[in-house]
Structure 1
Amino acid sequence: MCYDVKTSLEAQLKRAKKSQDLKAIEEIVEKLGSLTDLPLHHASGFSHPEVLVYTNEDPFYPIVATWGLIPHWVNNVEQQKKIWNSTLNARVETIFDIPAFRDAANEKRCIFYVDGFYEHHHFDNNTYPFFIQRKNNEPLALAALWSKWVHPEHGGIINSFSIVTTVGNGMMAKIHNNPKLKEPRMPLMLSEDMEEQWLSSHADFEKELTALLNTDNNLELQAHTVGKLRGKNYAGNIASISEEVVYTELKTEEFNF
């Protein structure tokens, strides 16, 4: 799954910079930057951080959204608080079937840019966190779904999103080996061509998704172990959290290609 990420304002400006509209970029930084929790050297989805996502409604100007999708049909705060811890991730295989994601899968897809993400590897009854990023250090574009929810008490609008996951392959199949899951998982990472497909507004996107999932994204990844992300030894949201920490009992060279 994908519950932990590293992201910065610089990474989240990647798509806006494609338009080469410097005035728009300045506006995003001035108007939206302060409304986010960036930079996030490490953030758990369960803390529901505020970040920027690019939606299919405006592919080059982001919105502020909280991690943990709140379906538009949620009708009270109690239900909202109950559901958003279970909607941090959405399995791509079932997004058109599960009520919480169905409408968003058809109508509201978005991209969440990160510097990298963290996953836990299980070995000898212990867990070891890894940081995964692109080999060229460019931001990763993660496929996501979003929703616009009207708060029933004050009428304010809350934008929220869920990261879409798929079956883990290659390096990720080795790292993400949670014994409680039937198979390894990883976020659905998009190449530049795949980004445009994901944000397309075609009516029958469900059919297009099959072709998209069969596309080679050509993204080269690298990974290294980091310090603990849970418990009393967790250092917190600090810049050094993504730096390598070596665990001698692990042969980490096996996880890179």
Structure 2
Amino acid sequence: MCYSAEAATRKLIKYALHRGDTEYAKALEQYLIEISKDKTPKFFVSGFAHPELLVFTNEEPMKPQYFTWGLIPSWVKDWEGAKKQRRNTLNARVETMFEKPSFKDSAFNRRCLVYFDAFYEYHTFNKKKYPIRVSMREDIPMVMGGIWNSWVDKATGEIHNTVAVCTTDANALMEKVHNEPAASDTPRMPVIISKEDQDKWLIKIRTKKDGYTEADTQADVEFIKSIAAPYDGDKMQAWTVAPLIGKKGLGNAPEARLEYKYEELIF
């Protein structure tokens, strides 16, 4: 999966409506405006810039918050280590996140919903890479499964709330888009959570202070993994966009969302 995303603040109220009902959206409208008033709209942003993403956590499932992209595990000792760690934790593979040291504790105890308008991936044709914008049909929010953590910088006392986006095998659409993954991998896509499964994704499996049986825990893990199955590609859409990076790249501009045709590309 590519580490580039669109998360424009223009849809905040639509996010609220998607998460709850009309009354809930009205109650949150002022809160959303307040927490977002100083945020720069993100039409295209690289995950390696560690932008803030709009999330709903299992601890506060009806309260939107902004967390930084790139998960910092609690065992990281200092800020230098945290900066190195988060470059490798933008995404968490759902198949292995319950075993990996960087993700295990969060996978069991701290899952969240991450809201995007779209994300960007690169498609390869004739050894050249072309940027593709992927979004939901009908212009609804894309709700991804994530895991989060709060890390305290012992040197400053500052709390860093961070998140990783979970990934799964690609559906047919994303196999077409993500047609040349890394040599050691297969096509991937973010875990997209249907509205019916969003509350289920947030269920906590265990806490450090609670006992649990291996059988129950494994059943819960497999249930979470089943929610993370590849999303229906017929409910998604994708189109090529103008160059995003480099000297002539659009960067974080509204035009990054617009379809752009390449004469030489067959897509």
Check whether the contact 2:69–2:90 (CA below 8 A) recurs between aligned residues: yes
* Correspondences of 1:1-257 after superposition (within 5 Å): 1-17=1-17, 18-19=20-21, 20-21=23-24, 22-30=26-34, 32-34=35-37, 36-37=39-40, 39-181=41-183, 182-203=185-206, 204=217, 205-214=220-229, 220-252=235-267
Q: How far does the alpha carbon of each residue in 1:179-210 deviate from its partner, in whole angstroms, 9 at most, with x for none? A: 52421011011110121211122443313123
Give the CA deviation at 1:29.
1.9
Counterpart of 1:123, as a letter, is F
CA distance in 1, matches of 2:149, 2:160: 8
CA distance in 1, matches of 2:205, 2:173: 33
Check whether the contact 2:120–2:134 (CA below 8 A) recurs between aligned residues: yes
Counterpart of 1:2, as a letter, is C
Check whether the contact 2:171–2:232 (CA below 8 A) recurs between aligned residues: no
Mean Cα deviation higher: 104-113 or 2-11:
2-11
Q: How far does the alpha carbon of each residue in 1:204-241 deviate from its partner, in whole angstroms, 9 at most, with x for none? A: 33131233235865861111101122222211111001
Counterpart of 1:69, as a letter, is L
CA distance in 2, matches of 1:232, 1:218: 33
Of all paired residues, the percent bearing the same amino acid is: 36
CA distance in 1, matches of 2:255, 2:32: 27
Counterpart of 1:157, as a letter, is I
* Unaligned runs of at least 5 residues, structure 2: 207-216
Corresponding residue number in structure 1 for 2:213: none
Check whether the contact 2:6–2:43 (CA below 8 A) recurs between aligned residues: yes
CA distance in 2, matches of 1:61, 1:83: 27
CA distance in 1, matches of 2:251, 2:230: 37
Give the CA deviation at 1:159.
0.4
Counterpart of 2:223, as a letter, is E
Counterpart of 2:105, as a letter, is D
The two structures have a TM-score, normalised by structure 1, of 0.90
Cα RMSD (Å):
1.9
Q: How far does the alpha carbon of each residue in 1:156-179 deviate from its partner, in whole angstroms, 9 at most, with x for none? A: 111010110111111101110225
SS in 1 for 2:53: strand
Give the CA deviation at 1:36.
3.7
CA distance in 1, matches of 2:182, 2:230: 29
CA distance in 1, matches of 2:158, 2:148: 16
Mean Cα deviation higher: 90-99 or 21-30:
21-30
1:124–1:214 distance in 2 versus 1, CA, 3 Å: closer
Q: How far does the alpha carbon of each residue in 1:117-171 deviate from its partner, in whole angstroms, 9 at most, with x for none? A: 1100111111001001111110100111111011122101110101101111111
Counterpart of 1:207, as a letter, is E
CA distance in 2, matches of 1:58, 1:67: 18
SS in 1 for 2:80: helix
1:115–1:219 distance in 2 versus 1, CA, 3 Å: farther
* Unaligned runs of at least 5 residues, structure 1: 253-257
1:206–1:10 distance in 2 versus 1, CA, 3 Å: farther
Corresponding residue number in structure 2 for 1:255: none
The two structures have a TM-score, normalised by structure 2, of 0.87
1:6–1:215 distance in 2 versus 1, CA, 3 Å: closer
1:84–1:12 distance in 2 versus 1, CA, 3 Å: farther
Check whether the contact 1:15–1:60 (CA below 8 A) recurs between aligned residues: no
